[in-house]
């Protein structure tokens, strides 16, 4: 899947914004949240069908933690495709409830902690007040997911934590920390180096920190593995991710005056 078009939002603008606004943008920018451009009709239909199917499974087996977190995952996907804040918040809340239900049954469930974080991010996007408090809950949920299984979703917890620390203002305003961002983004790449989202997140961070040579190394590695990854991560469920990854790759490549089309696309 965390994960900059939708539309492209430049980093580095948060200090000039009200606190609620940078938090909202933070949740949109988080790489664990796919940052998709507009979904296709087919993708939206698939997400809605999966949501209804998983909800039915959950209602029929509310004492099964796996059924609960699978419904939380489906809720995140369907919430991410909403244009209405009301619908996004409503669907995300069902995902939060399902994740919490899974955690009540199995407190150490990495998947439940992870999709709790993602659905909290969806909910935060709909808030003008109170979003700052949700950021802390997102951090806590990612940390718990990481402690339970740092490999889950292609090192998604480290990727999410790294981007959270990268984009949030630092103490005492919020949780932002360059040191923590670097630690988690580098860990995500170390755990799953072939995942495009991990290298893109680290490359973006290097550019923000004015480390172009390090960013170029990540870009070169990304391009080297691009064709193999297109085969490894193939199928309808990955197409929206690839649209975003290609756009993000091309945005970074433009900084180095490299061709805008990713290899083997």
pLDDT per residue rounded down to tens, the chain (265 residues): 443 333 333 333 333 334 434 444 444 444 344 555 578 999 999 999 999 999 999 999 999 999 999 999 999 999 999 999 999 999 999 999 999 999 999 999 999 999 999 999 999 888 866 777 888 999 999 999 999 999 999 999 999 999 999 987 788 777 889 999 999 999 999 999 999 999 999 999 999 999 999 999 999 999 999 999 999 999 998 998 999 999 999 999 999 999 886 555 4
Mark residue 198 as left, alpha or beta (left: phi above 0; alpha: psi -120 to 50; beta: remaining): alpha
Angle between helices 41-60 and 65-80 (to 10 degrees): 150
- Return phi, psi of residue 176, to 5°: -55, 140
21-58 core/surface letters (b: 16 or more CB in 10 A; e: else): ebbbbbbbbbbbbbbbeebeeebeebbeebbeebbebb
Give the model's pLDDT for residue 156. Answer: 96
CB 160 within 8 A of CB 137: no
pLDDT of residue 175: 86
Structural domains in the chain, sorted by start: 1-16+158-265 (1.25.40), 39-149 (1.25.40.10)
């Amino acid at each position: 899947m965390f994960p900059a078009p939708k539309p492209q939002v430049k980093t580095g603008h948060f200090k000039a914004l009200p606190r609620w606004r940078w938090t909202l943008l933070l949740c949109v920018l988080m790489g664990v949240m796919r940052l998709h451009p507009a979904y296709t009709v087919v993708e939206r239909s698939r997400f809605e069908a999966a949501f209804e199917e998983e909800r039915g499974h959950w209602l029929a087996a509310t004492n099964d933690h796996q059924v609960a977190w699978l419904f939380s995952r489906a809720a995140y996907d369907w919430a991410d495709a909403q244009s209405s804040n009301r619908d996004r918040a409503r669907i995300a809340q069902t995902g939060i409830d399902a994740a919490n239900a899974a955690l009540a049954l199995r407190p150490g469930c990495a998947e439940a902690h992870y999709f709790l974080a993602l659905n909290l991010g969806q909910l935060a996007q709909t808030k003008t007040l109170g979003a700052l408090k949700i950021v802390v809950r997102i951090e806590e949920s990612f940390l718990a997911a990481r402690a339970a299984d740092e490999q889950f979703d292609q090192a998604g917890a480290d990727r999410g934590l790294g981007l959270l620390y990268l984009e949030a203002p630092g103490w005492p305003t919020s949780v932002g920390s360059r040191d923590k961002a670097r630690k988690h983004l580098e860990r995500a790449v170390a755990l799953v180096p072939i995942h495009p989202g991990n290298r893109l997140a680290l490359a973006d961070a290097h550019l923000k920190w004015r480390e172009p040579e390090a960013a170029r190394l990540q870009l070169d590695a990304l391009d080297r593995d691009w064709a193999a990854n297109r085969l490894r991560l193939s199928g309808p469920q990955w197409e929206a991710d690839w649209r975003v990854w290609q756009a993000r790759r091309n945005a970074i490549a433009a900084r180095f005056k490299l061709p805008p089309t990713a290899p083997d696309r």
